[in-house]
């Protein structure tokens, strides 16, 4: 079993400290991908994206027995922007990235039984009238999307081809954002308001983030989420709200700690690492052509 320093610090340091601090209005937004028995034994627990049906059922049952109620991302934005919100209300948003077909087989029956709703972010280039595959997994079909919509599932955009947007030119970024939104709206006849950024969010690239937000607003989006870690709160950007990644490695103690905010501390070290990498990338690329970002790994960075 891989040693999880993040779990140790969360349960034995941050959780006790968190109980001594006052809570401000915040809403956990859970980030799931595949609900399956996918073998991720070669991947560190933090980076795994699959959640077994058994673990998912246990996590959802914990939410129900703890008094949580699910809300849409629009309701999350309303909650964190309202200073009069009662911080004791247990609201939570459940999201799924990529639109895998195992949502139909494994996740939806559990959510439906417990009276929970969810938002699914579709990479529309992998959604068809028959099953298409993304990362070696079947994705939902448009027929299934329309059926789930009748049962209260909300669909948002996850781009068309699931690229790292910050590596594309502005025109291609607009195509990914606009075309995916239009595809979902044409297939469902319902306006798409939410967007999920694919891959790691480039939080140190301020100019790109400003441009991306402007593009989202122009396209008609009203809110969004990304891979920044934490709970959505009054300091969050409504278009890039933080989420809590969940997978099979999250036992109920760690799951509870994440919900209560004791895992939010991980965002600090993550930002520090990203900032250092961005600085070093600029330093080496300007210092010498031979010391480009592509050669950083050869220097042990």
pLDDT digits (tens, 9 = 90+) for 236-264: 999 999 999 999 999 999 999 999 999 99
Burial class (CB in 10 A: 0-12, 13-18, 19+), 298: exposed
pLDDT of residue 87: 57
Cβ atoms < 10 Å from Cβ of 296? 15
Which of 15-24, 239-248, 269-278 has the lowest average pLDDT? 15-24
The DSSP bridge partners found for residue 195 are 157, 224
Residues 6+ apart with CB under 8 A from 38: 50
HSE-CB for 96 with a 13 A CA cutoff: 28
Residue closest to 196 by CA, chosen among 118, 270, 141:
118
Classify residue 162 as left (phi > 0), alpha (psi -120 to 50) or beta.
left
Distance CA 113, CA 177 (A): 34
Residue 71 has pLDDT above 60, yes or no: yes
- CA atoms of 235 and 125, how far apart (whole Å): 33
pTM of the model: 0.89
pLDDT tens, residue by residue, 112-168: 999 999 999 999 999 999 999 999 999 999 999 999 999 999 999 999 999 999 999
Cβ atoms < 10 Å from Cβ of 141? 18
Burial 193-226 (b: 16+ CB within 10 A, else e): bbbbbbeebbbeeeebbebbbebbeebebbbbbb
Q: Who has greater pLDDT, 294 or 264? A: 264
Q: What is the pLDDT of residues 185-234, one digit of tens each?
A: 999 999 999 999 999 999 999 999 999 999 999 999 999 999 999 999 99
41 vs 103, more confident = 103
pLDDT band at 19 (very low <50, low <70, confident <90, very high): low
Query: Cα–Cα distance between 103 and 140 in angstroms, integer?
Result: 8
């Amino acid at each position: 079993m891989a040693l999880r320093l993040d779990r140790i610090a969360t349960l034995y340091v941050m959780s006790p400290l968190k109980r001594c601090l006052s809570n401000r209005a915040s809403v956990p937004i859970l980030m799931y991908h595949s609900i399956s028995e996918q073998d991720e034994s070669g991947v560190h627990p933090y980076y795994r994206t699959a959640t077994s049906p058994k673990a998912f059922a246990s996590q959802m049952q914990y939410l129900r027995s703890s008094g949580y109620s699910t809300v849409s991302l629009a309701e999350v934005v309303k909650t964190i922007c309202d200073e009069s919100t009662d911080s004791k209300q247990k609201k939570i948003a459940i999201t799924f990235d990529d639109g895998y077909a195992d949502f139909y087989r494994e996740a939806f029956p559990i959510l439906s039984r417990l009276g929970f709703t969810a938002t699914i972010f579709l990479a529309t280039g992998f959604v068809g009238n028959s099953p298409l595959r993304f990362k070696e997994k079947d994705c939902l079909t448009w027929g299934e999307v329309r059926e789930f919509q009748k049962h209260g599932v909300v669909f948002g955009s996850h781009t068309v081809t699931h690229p790292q947007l910050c590596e594309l030119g502005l025109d291609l970024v607009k195509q990914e954002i606009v075309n995916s939104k239009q595809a979902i709206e044409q297939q469902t006849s319902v306006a798409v308001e939410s967007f999920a950024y694919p891959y790691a969010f480039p939080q140190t690239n301020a100019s790109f983030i400003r441009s991306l937000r402007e593009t989202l607003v122009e396209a008609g989006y009203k809110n969004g989420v990304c891979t920044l870690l934490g709970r959505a709160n009054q300091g969050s950007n409504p278009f890039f709200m933080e989420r809590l990644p969940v997978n099979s490695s999250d036992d109920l103690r760690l799951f509870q700690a994440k919900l209560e905010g004791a895992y939010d501390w991980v965002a600090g070290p993550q930002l520090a690492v990203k900032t250092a990498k961005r600085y070093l990338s600029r330093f080496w690329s300007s210092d010498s052509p031979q010391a480009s970002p592509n050669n950083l790994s050869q220097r042990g960075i």
